[in-house]
Homo-oligomer: A and B are copies of this chain.
């Protein structure tokens, strides 16, 4: 049984694990104040070509989203999210649990557009309604699509003009930035958004996300929020060293590229076998549509997520590649698919 279910089925990239092992006996400060967190922070700032950001290392995505968003908003302020948004659908109401409404906007490609935001603003007119304040986007999105530079610039512009915060969930930012057609850089994201996070968990780390706070007014006393939400790691060296390793020799991008390369093979071959996709996703998540009987056969040797029912006879599944996915794995999958497709 081989899993293409997600990009967090395996452990860490060997280089990362090695660094953890090598430093195991060192004594470090805790709670984000160790030298590895400090160095990782400095290194990421360099990569961002942006010294005017604060970087905090947290353990997981939901934790990062809820800690950041609840810290950034006043009680009556709300979030705008695409209807596919992870915080809207798959975080058990974590944002609402901190007191804030998440306003859903229908989207077919997982992305928010200028018009979506203006339309929400137009509907929210007075103090009998929540006040939309933060725009939540994911890059790549939950259905594998990515934002172009001009799309992000437009969102950034409309947010700043309307006094909204722009926050990017970068759980899969590594894959997004390594898409062939991508024209957006890490540095540009740090200038176009007010905060975003660089995902480690889904990009080769054991765990860990690097939250980058770009807007000055959001930085103040942020560590209080981390501690209060239970997100301040005692042995924080673990987070620092992983991100140091990810960015030291651009391992972060190497992994993103590898994930996409594996996905590209899958995508090309599945297409050539005549199958269609629910959405044209260029990153490490694919959404092919198969006959149910083929899916049943694939399930004998592969695990993956059933995404949605297309019609009586066919469904969409999600395939995800990771840092550990090997070319032989995807080729074997294609061969099996081909066999079942005859």
Q: Give the B-binding residues of A (Cβ under 8 A).
A: 2-3, 6, 8-12, 14, 17, 20-21, 23-31, 59-67, 70-71, 74-76, 78, 89-94, 96-102, 104, 127-131, 201-202, 206-207, 221, 223-235, 237-238, 324
Contact = CB atoms under 8 A, between A and B. Distances in A.
A282 to B, nearest CB: 23
A173 to B, nearest CB: 16
B11 A90 contact: no
Instruction: Tell which of A20, A74, A97, A225 has the most Cβ of chain B within 10 Å.
Output: A97
Contact of A10 (B11, B21, B27, B129): B27
23 contacts: A9-B28, A10-B24, A10-B28, A11-B20, A21-B21, A60-B234, A71-B75, A75-B97, A75-B224, A76-B225, A89-B129, A91-B230, A92-B227, A93-B101, A97-B229, A99-B99, A130-B228, A131-B221, A201-B235, A202-B234, A206-B238, A229-B229, A229-B230
Given A63-B231, A97-B228, A9 B30 contact: yes
A231 B59 CA distance: 9
A255 B67 CA distance: 34
Given A91-B128, A224-B76, A238-B207, A8 B30 contact: yes
A226 to B, nearest CB: 8
B230 A207 contact: no
A300 to B, nearest CB: 16
Contact of A93 (B90, B130, B324): B130
Nearest to A14: B24
Contact of A63 (B8, B230, B237): B230
A312 B304 CA distance: 50
B230 A94 contact: yes
A227 to B, nearest CB: 4
B93 A78 contact: yes
Contacts of A31: 128
A67 B2 CA distance: 34
A93 B97 contact: no
Given A221-B76, A223-B127, A238-B207, A92 B228 contact: yes
Contact of A24 (B12, B64, B104): B12
Contact of A62 (B23, B221, B232): B232
A9 B27 contact: yes
